[in-house]
Chains A and B, each alone.
Chain A
Amino acid sequence: GAVVSQHPSRVICKSGTSVKIECRSLDFQATTMFWYRQFPKQSLMLMATSNEGSKATYEQGVEKDKFLINHASLTLSTLTVTSAHPEDSSFYICSALGPAGSYNEQFFGPGTRLTVL
């Protein structure tokens, strides 16, 4: 099946610093990737849609200047949390739309747990 990786799996940083999270599709090309955030015991909330070669589309209430998304290649999208604060601590998960022919199936990465001190 389609495999998506994320790096790092866990990161702890000081308040005010920036953190970059990478999402890679390992065995297929993903023109569209999604970034979700999940707080403890809550469901996944879509943050933004990332399309290769174009600007990301952010959901209402998500600050695009704070959560910078870059989808520079067909296998890599990055999320940078700028000037992180404790309230940004969460589980960040990316997903990629499957290979051609799978239409609307999404394959998720293992997630990145961000803790901001």
Chain B
Amino acid sequence: QKEVEQDPGPLSVPEGAIVSLNCTYSNSAFQYFMWYRQYSRKGPELLMYTYSSGNKEDGRFTAQVDKSSKYISLFIRDSQPSDSATYLCAMSGGTGRRALTFGSGTRLQVQP
């Protein structure tokens, strides 16, 4: 079993829809949770960063972490065609500054 599970998609939605992206994980030591957006043939771009459980909102993006369920989510409101990309969840834990464990990524297509 992978440490981080993420549905690869593709997920296709119409413009303006609310998008829900999710990851589950098995390592209870994870404390830092991130969402990255990656366009084709580009490096990942950090979207959201959350420590421990709770919600965080930034513009059209909301990140949720439920450590009790080992489940994290990213919501995108009013989705735009420019949001079409692969979304990667990533997490790390323990003490010190560590490398990230990534999900496999969900490919999102927002249809105009």
Interface positions of A (Cβ within 8 A of B): 4, 6, 32, 34, 41-46, 49, 91, 93, 95, 97, 103-111, 113
Contacts and interface: CB of A to CB of B under 8 A. Distances in A.
Nearest to A109: B43
B60 interface: no
A105 B32 CA distance: 9
Interface residues of B, number: 24
A58 to B, nearest CB: 12
Contacts of A107: 46
Given A105-B49, A106-B90, 6 more contacts: A43-B103, A49-B99, A110-B42, A110-B43, A111-B42, A113-B41
Contacts, number: 54
Nearest to A48: B99
Contact of B44 (A42, A45, A97, A108): A108
* Top 7 A-B pairs, shortest CB-CB distance: A108-B43, A43-B104, A110-B43, A43-B102, A104-B32, A111-B43, A108-B44
B86 to A, nearest CB: 9
Interface string B15-53: 000000000000000001010100001111110010000
Nearest to B31: A104
Given A97-B97, A103-B97, A106-B100, A44 B44 contact: yes
Contacts of A109: 43
A44 B32 CA distance: 17
Interface in B81-104: 88, 90, 92, 97-104
B96 to A, nearest CB: 9
A104 B97 contact: yes
